[in-house]
Amino acid sequence: MTKIILAGGFGKLGLAIQEGLAATNYEIVGILSGHNHESQYPVWTTRDQITETADIFLDVSTPATVFENAQWAIKHDMAIVIGATGLTEAQVTQLRDQSEHGILIVPNFSLSAVLLMQFAQQAAKYFPDVEIVETHNPKKIDAPSGTAVQTAKLIANERINSAQKTSYGEARGQRVSDIPVHALRLPGYIAQQSVYFGGIDEQLTLTQSTTSRLAFVPGVLRSLAGVEKINDLKIGLDSVL
């Protein structure tokens, strides 16, 4: 069994991970959380209280805690998978310099989101005219989503021909790497992203969606398997697929 310390294990993503790891070869030896919770696992509310050792520190806590957690895990000789957002580029560089075991930062655990980005990069070589539409519930603060921004940047890197000039203006979306990105925030809608490519008398649309946090579990399992095979810092689920 591979031993896991889970940070943020009682958040929305953390609870899905607890459920997803239950019948696997990964054993949660304890959970680091902001508050105490009733649990079958030991629960710690500060790093000083952690009594167990583990092979992997899996962090889905908060932007405010992720960097110091990672430094603690490095000091305690663990590989690290980071799903929580919020690390700055300087912090990533610092972790890269300090790493002795693998550190895997995964901004998006969704396999369908990662595959959509790969397919979109392939299509961008042939279809330079492209727009992105992403939908989330109104509680999502950032817009456009980090995944939409990343998708636009990857597409822009792969385009061989330039896109046709189109009009600007508020209704034309926010330009990310010169690609219009449209963000919808509506109750009752699931997390979804579509990439629309237009060619001469033909259209190609790629769509991915996640309907609950359980969608992230297969990507978490691949990340845990992947981090044990690297001994430096890597970013993105695709780096271990």
Closer to ligand NAP by Cβ: residue 54 or 60: 60
217 forms part of the interface with ligand NAP (CB under 6 A): no
Query: Residues in the chain, how many?
Result: 241
Residue with Cβ nearer ligand NAP (26 or 109): 109
Interface with ligand NAP, residue 107, by CB under 6 A: yes
- The C-alpha atoms of residue 191 and residue 220 are separated, in whole angstroms, by 18
128 touches ligand NAP (CB under 6 A): no
Verify binding: residue 130, ligand NAP, rule CB under 6 A.
no
CB 6 within 8 A of CB 60: yes
Q: How far apart are CA 69 and CA 67, in angstroms?
A: 5
# chain residues binding ligand NAP, by CB under 6 A: 25
Which two structure tokens, joined as six digits, stand for 203?
A: 């259209």
Binding of ligand NAP at residue 62 (CB under 6 A)? yes
- Contact pick of 21, 84, 155, 195 for ligand NAP (by CB under 6 A): 84
The one catalytic residue among 76, 125, 140, 229: 140
Q: Which listed residue (14, 20, 102, 128) binds ligand NAP by CB under 6 A? A: 14
Shortest Å distance, C-beta 203 to ligand NAP: 29
- Contact by Cβ (8 Å): 209, 73: no
Q: Which of the stretches 54-62, 95-103, 181-189, 227-235 binds ligand NAP when contact is defined by CB under 6 A?
A: 54-62
Alpha-helix residue ranges (DSSP H) falling in 31-88? 66-75
- Name which of 200, 190, 211, 220 is nearest 56 in CA terms: 220
Q: Which of 57, 67, 109, 127 binds ligand NAP (CB under 6 A)?
A: 109
Write the CB contacts of 110 (distance below 8 Å, at least 6 apart in sequence).
Answer: 208, 210, 215, 216, 219
Active-site annotation holds for 101: no
Residue 118: helix, strand or coil by DSSP?
helix
Look at residues 236, 212, 168, 166 and name the one whose alpha carbon lies nearest to residue 16. Answer: 212
The count of C-alpha atoms lying within 13 angstroms of the C-alpha of 218, restricted to the half-sphere facing its C-beta, is 10
Taking CB under 6 A as the criterion, the residue among 60, 80, 81, 133 binding ligand NAP is 60
Residues found near ligand NAP in the complex (CB under 6 A): 7-8, 10-14, 32-35, 60-63, 65, 83-86, 106-109, 216
Which residues are the active-site residues? 136, 140
